[in-house]
């Protein structure tokens, strides 16, 4: 109850205080639920016969083109329009909060306060005030965490259905199929991974012509996340920067996994639910981080990293490091906004740009360290399962 009470109090404080939100850099363009409005505007445009998803949408308050898959158009077929934005956006927020409180259950007061610090963080609040559909995707993927308390066939089928639905809605959740690597029996694990490749791959094929919509340019600004931010500020062009990010992430993940510094996810004696949440969040965040520059509300999935990391912090230096990194990564941009608005409110645009560039150069290594640790844990899980398959199948 402490976790729920403190989290809701923090979110309510930010909801009621526009001044505090602005000081933390949380811009809402004087309109709540801006992103759910964009989804409904795209649906309204499609219902009106406008089929060019790349054209500016006159039904949207910011004239944004459609950035989402056609799966969201079902809202229009259900009779929902922009007039229902408060109902739709509010429903997504409530579903998200319900999913958070159902899947995160702290065991100590310390863990409860730490989780509340993450749940009431600026990236989460940014998703809430915009009612971004990542909140709805989070709620869908929560079914995976709740279902995979055992690996019964019907639970695996439910998890696969949830991942497939989330993939059709937002593309990147396809990476969440990595949770099937947690199945300890090699043959069942291979069967589940094979089914996931077929089913989730089929969903991706069905929306393949829409994938580019999710890679819209965000640009260099506060409250963003992505592997290209650091190389961009080091002066690299887009494609070399993307290759640099992928190479650095891959090498760091392999090195950490190979040395055994990021182990534990494959241990069958560990609590399964927290490991499922950890793999789910780590794979989704890694896909987003390496894919493009995203708005900071992508960090909502980092909440699922918390339970396993907190419980492993006393056993593993990497987990303790991640426990300290998580609140820093989620709060650091807003702390800069708070400092600038309080101490240097009248700087010129060029001065702000220089400060931000040096801020990114100084803080992105911490984000990179967290992401490389996640890659190490996922890599160690994959290597362990590969060894289990080799020993359990091919040597028999």
pLDDT tens column, 161-216: 999 999 999 999 999 999 999 999 999 999 999 999 999 999 999 988 887 776 66
- Tell me, what's the pLDDT at 396? 47
Number of domains present in the structure of the chain? 1
| Measured distance CA(336)–CA(320) in Å, rounded | 24
pLDDT 10s digits, 340-377: 887 877 777 778 888 888 888 889 999 999 999 999 99
Looking at the domain assignment, is residue 374 inside a domain? yes
Which structural domain, as residue segments, surrounds residue 148? 2-10+26-394
- Tell me, what's the pLDDT at 217? 61
Which residue do the tokens 């923090």 mark?
10
- Tell me, what's the pLDDT at 341? 81
Total Cβ atoms within 10 A of residue 375: 27
- Tell me, what's the pLDDT at 265? 92
- Tell me, what's the pLDDT at 366? 95
Looking at the domain assignment, is residue 226 inside a domain? yes
Looking at the domain assignment, is residue 15 inside a domain? no
Looking at the domain assignment, is residue 95 inside a domain? yes
Contacts by 257-260 with C-beta closer than 8 Å and gap 24+?
257/375, 257/376, 257/377, 257/379, 257/380, 257/382, 257/383, 258/383, 260/380
- Residue 132, classed as helix, strand or coil, is coil
Task: Please identify every stretch of the chain with a pLDDT value under 70, giving residue numbers as ranges.
Answer: 52-53, 214-220, 393-396
Is the entire prediction scored with pTM above 0.75? Answer: yes
Among residues 143, 129, 141, 142, which one has the least CA distance to residue 89? 129
Looking at the domain assignment, is residue 19 inside a domain? no
Looking at the domain assignment, is residue 20 inside a domain? no
Looking at the domain assignment, is residue 237 inside a domain? yes
């Amino acid at each position: 109850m402490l976790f729920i009470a403190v989290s809701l109090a923090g979110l309510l404080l930010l909801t009621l205080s526009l001044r505090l939100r602005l000081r933390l850099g949380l811009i809402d363009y004087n309109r709540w639920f801006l992103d759910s409005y964009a989804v409904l505007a795209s649906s309204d445009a499609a219902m009106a016969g406008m089929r060019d998803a790349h054209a500016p949408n006159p039904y949207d308050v910011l004239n944004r083109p459609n950035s989402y898959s056609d799966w969201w158009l079902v809202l229009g077929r259900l009779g929902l329009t922009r007039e229902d934005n408060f109902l739709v956006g509010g429903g997504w927020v409530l579903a998200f909060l319900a999913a958070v409180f159902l899947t995160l259950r702290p065991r100590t007061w310390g863990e409860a306060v730490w989780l509340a610090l993450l749940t009431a963080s600026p990236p989460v609040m940014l998703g809430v005030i915009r009612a971004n559909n990542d909140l709805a995707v989070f709620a869908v993927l929560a079914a995976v965490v709740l279902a995979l308390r055992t690996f019964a066939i019907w639970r695996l089928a439910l998890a696969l259905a949830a991942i497939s639905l989330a993939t059709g809605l937002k593309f990147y959740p396809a990476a969440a199929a990595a949770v099937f690597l947690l199945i300890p029996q090699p043959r069942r694990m291979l069967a589940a991974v094979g089914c996931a490749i077929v089913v989730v791959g089929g969903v991706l094929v069905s929306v393949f012509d829409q994938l580019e919509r999710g890679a819209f340019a965000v640009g260099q600004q506060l409250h963003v996340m992505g592997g290209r931010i650091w190389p961009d500020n080091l002066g690299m062009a887009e494609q070399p920067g993307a290759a640099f990010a992928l190479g650095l992430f891959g090498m760091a993940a392999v090195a950490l996994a190979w040395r055994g510094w990021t182990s534990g996810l494959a241990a069958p004696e560990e609590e399964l639910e927290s490991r499922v949440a950890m793999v789910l969040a780590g794979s989704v965040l890694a896909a987003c981080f390496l894919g493009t520059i995203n708005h900071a509300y992508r960090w909502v999935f980092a909440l699922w990293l918390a339970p396993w990391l907190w419980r492993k912090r006393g056993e593993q230096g990497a987990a303790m490091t991640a426990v300290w990194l998580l609140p820093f990564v989620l709060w650091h941009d807003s702390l800069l906004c708070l400092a600038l608005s309080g101490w240097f409110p009248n700087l010129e645009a060029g001065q702000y740009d220089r400060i931000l560039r040096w801020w990114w150069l100084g803080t992105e290594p911490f984000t990179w360290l967290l992401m490389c640790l996640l890659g190490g844990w996922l890599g160690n899980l994959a290597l362990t399962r590969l060894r289990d398959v080799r020993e359990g199948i091919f040597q028999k």
